[in-house]
Each structure stands twice: as structure tokens, then as C-alpha cells.
Amino acid sequence: MAAVKDNIRLTVNLPADVMERVCLAASEGPFRVEREALTLIRGAMNVRRRTISVGEQAYRAYQAHLARIGGSEPGSVQHLEQLKMIRDEMANEPASD
């Protein structure tokens, strides 16, 4: 935990529904509202960092796959062609009711 002297005050306007959810979370746990908000912000930042990391790993894996098969990343024209093929395939599939 950072020392108190390392803290920086932040004033933020939250929509009422968000503030209600923060207050509810604080009332259900051991923390005051300020500590609960800090915990939620840290959690969201960790999720964001992990999401970016996973995306970067997936992209590196994709690049390695392309290198193994001797391919290259498709350009926008190829992407549009693939999307058109997928659209046409889906349009030709019978409805599955």
C-alpha cells in the first residue's frame, strides 16, 4: 500500500447510479466509500492491463502462425472479401429453428 504522503487527491463527478453502486459495495464490505472506490479503480485498471496483455499475446501468436504457414496479414481488401464470403455463407444457410 502506498504511504499517505504518496496519495494525490482526486475529485470526480459520478453519475448517481454509479455512486449508488459504489456505496452499496462499500456497505456490503469492510471498507469506507473512498477505499471501496480505490479498490474498484485498481481492479478495473488491472482488468484493462490484463486485457491488453492478452490481446498482445494473441496478436503475437497470430503473427507466429502466419510466419509458420508463410502467410502475411490480410489487408483491408482481403478483410472485406472475407466478410463478404462469410455474409454470403450465412445468407445461404437454412434457418435453424
Are the C-beta atoms of residues 22 and 14 closer than 8 Å to each other? yes
Residue 2 falls inside a structural domain: no
**What's the pLDDT at 5?**
77
**What's the pLDDT at 52?**
97
Residues 35-71 pLDDT 10s = 999 999 999 999 999 999 999 999 999 999 989 998 8
Residue 27 phi/psi, 5-degree rounding, is -70, -25
**What's the pLDDT at 40?**
92
> Rounded mean pLDDT of the chain?
89
- Where in the sequence is the domain holding 24, given as residue range(s)? 12-92
Residue 5 falls inside a structural domain: no
Residue 3 falls inside a structural domain: no
Cα separation, 71 vs 62, whole angstroms = 11
**What's the pLDDT at 23?**
94
| 16-42: average pLDDT | 92
**What's the pLDDT at 10?**
87
Query: In the chain, how many domains are there?
Result: 1
Cα separation, 60 vs 2, whole angstroms = 34
User: What letter does residue 70 receive in the DSSP assignment?
Assistant: T
